[in-house]
């Protein structure tokens, strides 16, 4: 299994049977600049979305139309995407699971919002904010937490799903900061690997994952801090 960080909360996941994009905020992502859009999106079979904010939906509409990839997201966001020409959709609500060839994905809870501001300046709800729990055939399981703060029911997510790899927002301001994210990993999860994200993209965010890395010192979890475009391999 190969996991590539594309900057911000965007990842490419390659398994034996699928090529998956998570929150594909690419063309307007400052941390994606200099990377190859064609390489990042080559052969994509599924696009998985945590919530409806523009820095997570990103290039979903264009990529879905271009590649024919199936988009997985919450039902309200899916309705919004359908009205904008996305045809292949798999929808769920928090706690719901959908099966694809070679993996399942479950929408977990997250403490955040999900809306789109239109040209009239009004924010329109796009359903829930979620994390994504992926169980892969004969490969490590992955939890992309989405945008979230710490919450005690993270312990239930770990009890139900036992994720091996955690993708963790650490940039503060719009998610938990690095120190709190480290506490979440220590108290509620038993990750073998943790990958920080959602930092350094904009000026309001923490520019490095240093607080998270420091907070994870002495833990058995292996903290991976890739540069955008770096591919990590997991068995």
Give the per-residue pLDDT at 20.
98
- What is the C-alpha separation between 59 and 127, in angstroms, rounded? 19
3-state secondary structure (DSSP) of residue 95? coil
User: In tens digits, what is the pLDDT along the chain, a chain of 235 residues?
Assistant: 999 999 999 999 999 999 999 999 999 999 999 999 999 999 999 999 999 999 999 999 999 999 999 999 999 999 999 999 999 999 999 999 999 999 999 999 999 999 887 667 777 889 999 999 999 999 999 999 999 999 999 999 999 999 999 999 999 999 999 999 999 999 999 999 999 999 999 999 999 999 999 999 999 999 999 999 999 999 9
Question: Which pairs from 81-86 meet CB under 8 Å and 24+ separation?
Answer: 81/57, 85/61, 86/60, 86/61
Give the per-residue pLDDT at 119.
64
What is the pTM assigned to this prediction?
0.97
User: What does DSSP assign to residue 54?
Assistant: H
Report whether 177 contacts 206 (CB < 8 A): yes
Total number of domains in the chain: 1
**Which neighbouring-strand residues pair with 168?**
196
Domain that holds residue 34: 2-233
At 56, which CATH number? 3.60.15.10
């Amino acid at each position: 299994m190969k996991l590539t960080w594309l900057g911000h909360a965007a990842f490419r996941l390659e398994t034996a049977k699928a090529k998956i994009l998570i929150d594909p905020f690419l063309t307007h992502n400052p941390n994606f600049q200099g990377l190859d859009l064609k390489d990042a999106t080559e052969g994509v079979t599924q696009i998985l979305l945590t919530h409806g904010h523009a820095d997570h939906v990103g290039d979903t509409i264009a990529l879905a139309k271009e590649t024919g990839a199936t988009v997985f997201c919450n039902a309200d966001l899916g309705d919004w995407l359908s009205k904008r020409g996305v045809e292949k959709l798999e929808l769920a609500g928090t706690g719901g699971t959908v099966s694809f060839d070679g993996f399942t994905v479950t929408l977990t809870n997250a403490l955040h919002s999900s809306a789109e501001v239109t040209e009239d300046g009004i924010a329109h709800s796009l359903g829930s904010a979620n994390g994504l729990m992926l169980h892969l055939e004969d490969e490590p399981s992955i939890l992309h937490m989405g945008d979230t703060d710490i919450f005690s029911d993270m312990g239930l997510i770990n009890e139900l799903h036992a994720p091996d790899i955690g993708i963790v927002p650490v940039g503060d301001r719009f998610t938990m900061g690095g120190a709190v994210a480290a506490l979440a990993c220590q108290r509620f999860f038993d990750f073998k690997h943790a990958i920080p994200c959602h930092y350094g993209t904009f000026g309001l965010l923490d520019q490095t994952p240093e607080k998270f890395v420091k907070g994870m010192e002495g833990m058995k979890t292996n903290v991976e801090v890739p540069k955008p475009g770096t591919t990590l391999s997991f068995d």
